[in-house]
């Protein structure tokens, strides 16, 4: 699924370049480069999972840089392992919803839910460990040179051990492992939700969200974008670079605040940066429990003067935003958009 999403993003980027042509670079004060929860998993497209698993599955997928790892893959694997049963235990001693053997848990288990204990029985700990292990296995599969789909090889490694995959240079000829891979890949569809953003209602918030949603897949460009749409970005300080190379000055797109500015323009002429947008709307604060589509959400490193990111609330616990260099305008879960500890508050323009 991620492969399709990224392909669509690439097409969108080419369309943006075709439409915008050679744009003049406007030097404005860009936002601080967002320090988000790293990832490539994406959050949309997940259905049919218990609510207590949903956030963790999305977070685990988002933290993996391998495009093959989708929320639906993790959900289908959890369903096959335990039917989402927290206290599941196998006859050979595998424990919890992700069915970790004690030795394997010692490698991958961490206290992801911050309750003071790393436990394979805790949903958050188990799902995040599953995600880390699967992400590592997919990476190994991609670099192995073995034939077959990387997801299939990773699932085989999860079930039979990567040593068995190496021994047979592919999926081992074990009936249990082959059935495990086949069943999970065939049941992924049942957990894939709609990727399109459904926006209902009217009003400035819904209209702004609708306008921004039309830019899904547009590249992130530090310092780029504005009321008229995407434009070339620029590099300054720590912003606009990827792996030490300046990419913003060759990228046509939006950064987080220019996307928001574009979405509300011209009915509401918001200022350019995330901090200034908070200052312009802070007298209309909204609690997290009362969010409506189009509300602005802010993240900070400490106080209103250190706000570094802004996003549009998209309903159903999701946000639409331009996250950081190397990514595109995307729909993700609020819980995984940026570090939750940095969440500063929301306003209604």
> Do both 59 and 176 map to the same domain?
yes
> Do both 10 and 72 map to the same domain?
no
Structural domain total, the chain: 2
Token pair for 9: 């993003």
> Do both 216 and 318 map to the same domain?
yes
Contact between residue 254 and residue 221 where contact means Cβ atoms under 8 Å apart? yes
DSSP β-bridge partners for residue 315: 318
Q: What is the DSSP letter of 116?
A: S
In the predicted structure, residue 42 carries a pLDDT above the cut 80: no
Taking CA 335 as the corner, what is the angle to CA 29 and CA 69, rounded to the nearest 5 degrees? 100
> Do both 151 and 235 map to the same domain?
no
Token pair for 328: 């595109």
Q: How confident is the model at residue 23 (pLDDT cuts 50, 70, 90)?
A: very low
Q: CATH number of the domain that 81 lies in? A: 1.10.530.10
Q: What is the DSSP letter of 224?
A: -
| 274: in domain | yes
- Using only C-alpha atoms, what is the Rg of the chain? 21
> Do both 295 and 206 map to the same domain?
yes
Q: Which domain covers residue 10, as residue numbers?
A: 2-41+198-347
Phi, psi dihedrals of residue 225, rounded to the nearest 5°: 85, 165
- Residues marked as catalytic: 81
| 231: in domain | yes
Does the predicted TM-score (pTM) go above 0.85?
Answer: no
| 46: in domain | no
Of 165, 191, 217, at which residue does a domain stop?
191
Of 191, 224, 259, at which residue does a domain stop?
191
pLDDT number for residue 45: 63
| 20: in domain | yes
DSSP β-bridge partners for residue 231: 253
Q: Say what percent of the chain tops pLDDT 90.
A: 72
> Do both 211 and 187 map to the same domain?
no
Phi, psi dihedrals of residue 43, rounded to the nearest 5°: -115, -25
> Do both 78 and 132 map to the same domain?
yes
> Do both 148 and 283 map to the same domain?
no
Within 10 angstroms of residue 301's Cβ, the number of other Cβ atoms is 15
> Do both 140 and 238 map to the same domain?
no
Q: CATH number of the domain that 212 lies in? A: 3.90.1720.10
> Do both 228 and 340 map to the same domain?
yes
- In whole angstroms, give the CA distance from residue 313 to residue 27: 28
Q: How confident is the model at residue 194 (pLDDT cuts 50, 70, 90)?
A: low
Return all residues near 204 (Cβ < 8 A) that are at least 6 apart.
264, 267, 268, 294, 349
Of 149, 172, 191, at which residue does a domain stop?
191
Residue keyed to tokens 């250190």 = 306
> Do both 237 and 334 map to the same domain?
yes
Task: Give the pLDDT confidence of 137-187 residue by residue, as tens digits.
Answer: 999 999 999 988 999 999 999 999 999 999 999 999 999 999 999 999 999
Return all residues near 255 (Cβ < 8 A) that are at least 6 apart.
30, 31, 220, 221, 222, 223, 224, 225, 233, 322
Q: What distance lies between CA 29 and its chain's CA centroid? A: 26
> Do both 36 and 172 map to the same domain?
no
> Span 240-255, mean pLDDT?
93
Return all residues near 52 (Cβ < 8 A) that are at least 6 apart.
123
| 219: in domain | yes
């Amino acid at each position: 699924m991620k492969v399709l999403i990224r392909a669509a993003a690439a097409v969108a980027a080419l369309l943006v370049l075709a439409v915008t042509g050679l744009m003049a670079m406007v030097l404005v004060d860009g936002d601080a480069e967002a320090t988000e929860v790293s990832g490539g998993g994406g959050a949309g497209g997940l259905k049919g999972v218990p609510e207590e698993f949903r956030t963790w599955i999305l977070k685990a997928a988002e933290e993996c840089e391998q495009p093959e790892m989708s929320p639906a893959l993790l959900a289908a694997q959890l369903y096959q392992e335990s039917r989402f049963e927290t206290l599941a235990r196998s006859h050979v001693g595998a424990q919890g919803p992700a069915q970790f053997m004690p030795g394997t848990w010692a490698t991958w288990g961490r206290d992801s839910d911050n309750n003071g204990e790393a436990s394979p029985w805790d949903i958050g700990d188990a799902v995040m460990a599953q995600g880390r292990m699967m992400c590592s296995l997919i990476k190994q599969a991609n670099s192995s040179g073995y034939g077959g789909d990387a997801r299939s090889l990773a699932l085989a490694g999860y079930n039979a051990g990567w040593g068995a995959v190496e021994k047979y240079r592919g999926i081992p000829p074990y009936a249990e492992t082959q059935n495990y891979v086949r069943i999970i890949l065939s049941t992924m569809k049942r957990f894939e939700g709609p990727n399109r953003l459904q926006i209902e209602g009217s009003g400035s918030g819904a209209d702004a969200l609708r306008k921004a949603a039309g830019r899904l897949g547009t590249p992130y460009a530090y310092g780029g974008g504005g009321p008229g749409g995407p434009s070339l970005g620029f590099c300054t300080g720590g912003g606009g670079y990827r792996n030490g190379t300046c990419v913003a000055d060759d990228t046509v797109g939006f950064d987080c605040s220019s996307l928001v500015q574009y979405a509300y323009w011209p009915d509401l002429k918001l200022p350019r940066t995330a901090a200034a947008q908070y200052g312009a709307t802070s007298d209309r604060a909204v609690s997290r429990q009362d969010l409506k589509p189009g509300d602005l959400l802010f993240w900070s490193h400490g106080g209103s003067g250190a706000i570094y990111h802004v996003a549009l609330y998209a309903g159903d616990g999701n946000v639409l935003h331009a996250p950081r260099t190397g990514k595109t305008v995307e729909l993700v879960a609020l819980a995984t958009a940026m570090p939750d500890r940095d969440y500063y508050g929301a306003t209604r323009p």
